[in-house]
Amino acid sequence: MELEYSIEGGDFSKAGLASSEVKKILKQVNIKPEIIKRIAVAMYEAEVNVVAHAYQGKMLVNIDPSKVYIRFEDEGPGIENIDQAMQEGFSTASEAVRQMGFGAGMGLPNMKKNVDEFFVGSVVGKGTTVELTTYIK
Amino acid sequence: MAETVFHHALTILEDVCFGCTHCVKVCPTEALRVRDGKARLTANRCIDCGRCMQACPVNAIIIKQDDFSEIYKYKARVALVTSILIGQFPRHYPTRKIYSGIMEQGFSHVYEAEHGASLLIDEINQYVARHGAVKPVISSFCPAIVRLIQVRFPSLVENIMLLKAPLDLAAISFKKELMERGFAEDEIGIFYITPCAAKIAAIKSPVGEKNSPINGVINMDTLFNKVYSGFKKEHSSSCIVPEKEQLRAEEMAWSLTGGEAKYINGRCLSIDGIKNAIEFLEGIENGHISNFDFIEMRACDQSCAGGILTTSNRFLTVERLEERIVKYGQDKIEGKIFDNKTIDKHSSFIRENVKIDTIEPRSMLKLDENTEEALRKMERIRKIFSYLPGIDCGACGTPSCRSLAEDVVQGHAHTSDCIFIQTSLNVPSDQEIRAEKIWGKDRFRKLT
Ligand SMILES: Nc1ncnc2c1ncn2[C@@H]1O[C@H](COP(=O)(O)OP(=O)(O)O)[C@@H](O)[C@H]1O
Ligand code: SF4
Ligand SMILES: [Mg+2]
């Protein structure tokens, strides 16, 4: 099954809506609660990153009986140094974003920790792609 | 395999219900549908939060209770009342008078259900300290919240605190006390005076406990009306002066918002109201809300002061209880009150019995046990949904276009239940039959 959602950059009031939708579908197709929890954390972080750091993006979800695959594609500034961005606590978030409770620099590391396969690719000045794969069998 | 049906206390009166969709729309677990012109409740989805009862314009939704005369089956007839009941009465009625008014209704003992909360503070703090790995610990105090988590947030079931509510602790300790005073176990009838449906459901089919120490349940509004009208027509000055134990300040406030969280170490928060609770649980599930140690969470606005069976305005109830707490403080300084002896006497017994067994998730969202089959169903739901207008009008008897699509795929409804689909299909006879199935024949007679 394939799903697609668009994500608006900068709109924090809507950050997490797409993830909540997908989470509900994961519950409906009876994926184990502990797996849902891991996917939920990873996709929420990825969605928030699009809102916080990019201009706009989309979330593509593919669920089959063996795995849940989620790809985020955004148009934005991209990431200059991915190794650095992957470090716990590293963040370029503005003070304003931090005031809203985002920007602890744990998003990318937590994504990696919570899924089975993780990929992040980026072209500076163009955008970022994040892929999250979780096996459910 | 036979499915276990969980007790729910909310009941729809068929002859009163006229099949509008108010209740269908407000149910947080989408447990209601209109069929044959009446609202129908799916028992296992219902969490007994009472939002439907609040929304019903004709009082067709009620809370079943035990017959009042049941109390006479017992020699010791205990009214186990929450402090919220005291808060229902205007402030010039002293607690003692309210107690005596309750006894005049036929009870031999009155006992407040928050006795034991003071012991629980300790137990919760130890529990939270022990459960550092699964944070936050979510209180098990409100049974509607426990059920909400079971059916809608299965991955958070492990966060629910496996400790009893003060109500159960008060019941077991007071039962023990009466047995020590010479009553046989089967001579003691403990009747809980409930502010809500959720507590009834929790007593009749307890989660994580084999059975409840409570023998019966009486709705708070029923008892309030009896006692209050007794006060109104009272002539004689004679009144029973009951034996009374004083609730401690923290116990009086336990059922109010902040009542628990205030006493728990670490980073805590109190959430009240079902919508707020759902939003917060979503946040915990996404990991966006983290680093909390303890969450107090109640389904009603202003917690139990807003219980569906309360008669007084919830904000006045809070004010009265707060005044009572202040008075308690003054009396204590003046040496006018004695502390609660029964609870202290039985404290080690209570501590031994404070735990509840594991709580199981029972997701009501899953379309099928088998993920492959569930995925096929999901595809069909999305397909059907794409044909529906998406305005959630409720005329199909379900809460939303999405839920109609789900019902169709689960075999409980038909796509042509949607009035928009009906007008685009040109089979008038079928249309009529479908519409009658949802709204009943009478509804259409009115139009002709
Ligand atoms: N989608 C994105 N577009 C541009 N930059 C990103 C994106 N996602 C992450 N980054 C960069 O990587 C850094 C670390 O990301 P993350 O670990 O999620 O922490 P945080 O979002 O709290 O800053 C961000 O501060 C940002 O500089
Ligand atoms: S908040 Fe109190 S009154 Fe309301 S459902 Fe929960 S336990 Fe019952
Ligand atoms: Mg981030």
Q: What is the pLDDT of residues B412-441, one digit of tens each?
A: 999 999 988 887 776 666 667 777 777 787
* Listed residue (B366, B361, B365, B364) closest to B157, CA to CA: B361
Furthest CA-CA distance within chain B: 83
B289-to-B134, B135, B219, B270 alpha-carbon distances in Å: 13, 10, 37, 14
Q: What is the pLDDT of residues B194-226, one digit of tens each?
A: 999 999 988 887 776 677 889 999 999 999 999
* Ligand 2 pocket, residue B142 CB under 6 Å: yes
What is the architecture of the domain spanning B10-63?
2-Layer Sandwich (3.30)
User: Measured between CB atoms, which of A28, A33, A110 is closest to B155?
Assistant: A33
User: Measured between CB atoms, which of A30, A33, A44 is closest to B287?
Assistant: A44
ipTM of the complex: 0.88
Task: Please give the Cα distance from B142 to B357 (Å, whole number).
Answer: 17
A2-135, superfamily in CATH? Answer: Histidine kinase-like ATPase, C-terminal domain (3.30.565.10)
Whether pLDDT at B442 is above 90 = no
Task: Please give the Cα distance from B257 to B305 (Å, whole number).
Answer: 9
Query: Which is more confident, A121 or B2?
Result: A121
For the residues B315-327, what does the mean pLDDT come to? 93
User: Measured between CB atoms, which of B157, B361, B375 is closest to A29?
Assistant: B375
Of the pLDDT bands very low, low, confident and very high (cuts 50, 70, 90), residue B154 is very high
Long-range contacts of A119-125 (CB under 8 A, 24+ apart): A120/A79, A120/A82, A120/A85, A120/A86, A121/A82, A122/A78, A122/A79, A122/A82, A123/A78, A124/A77, A124/A78, A124/A79, A124/A80, A125/A77, A125/A78
What pLDDT shows up at residue B238?
57
Collapsing DSSP to helix, strand or coil, B5 comes out as: coil
* A27 in contact with chain B, both atoms CB, cutoff 8 A: yes
Task: Please give the Cα distance from B82 to B98 (Å, whole number).
Answer: 12
Q: Whose CA is nearest to atom 23 of ligand 1?
A: A91
* Listed residue (B210, B223, B126) closest to B172, CA to CA: B210
Strand B10-12 to B61-63 pairing: antiparallel
**In this structure, are residues A83 and A108 in contact, taking their beta carbons and an 8 Å threshold?**
no
Whether pLDDT at B2 is above 50 = no
Please state the separation of Cα B121 from the chain's center in Å: 22
Q: DSSP letter at B355?
A: B
Please state the separation of Cα B116 from the chain's center in Å: 20
* Listed residue (A80, A81, A76, A79) closest to A127, CA to CA: A76
Of A35-49, A118-132, B111-125, the range with the lowest mean pLDDT is B111-125
Task: Please give the Cα distance from B203 to B181 (Å, whole number).
Answer: 25
Query: Which is more confident, B437 or B135?
Result: B135
* Listed residue (B262, B272, B261, B271) closest to B294, CA to CA: B261
Amino acid at B429: S
Collapsing DSSP to helix, strand or coil, B340 comes out as: coil
Q: What is the pLDDT of residues A82-132, one digit of tens each?
A: 999 999 999 998 888 888 778 889 999 999 999 999 999 999 999 999 999
pTM above 0.80, yes or no: yes
Task: Please give the Cα distance from B124 to B356 (Å, whole number).
Answer: 13
Task: Please give the Cα distance from B18 to B34 (Å, whole number).
Answer: 10
* B410 in contact with chain A, both atoms CB, cutoff 8 A: no
Amino acid at B223: L
Amino acid at B430: D
Collapsing DSSP to helix, strand or coil, B200 comes out as: helix
Domain ranges of chain B: 10-63, 68-352, 371-445
Q: HSE, CB side, 13 Å, CA atoms: give it for residue A113.
A: 11
Amino acid at B157: V
CB–CB contact B379 A27 (8 Å): no
* A69 in contact with chain B, both atoms CB, cutoff 8 A: no
For residue A1, which residues of chain B lie inside 8 Å, CB to CB?
375, 378-379, 382
- Can you tell me which residue has the tokens 């990153």? A49
Inter-chain contacts counted by CB atoms under 8 A, chains A and B: 69
Q: Cite the beta strand spans of A34-78 per DSSP E.
A: 56-63, 67-75
Amino acid at B172: I
Structure tokens belonging to residue B218: 């009486």
Question: B267-306 burial, b if ≥16 CB within 10 A, otherwise e?
Answer: ebebbbbbeebbebbbebbbbbbeebbbbbbbbbebbbbb
What pLDDT shows up at residue B1?
36
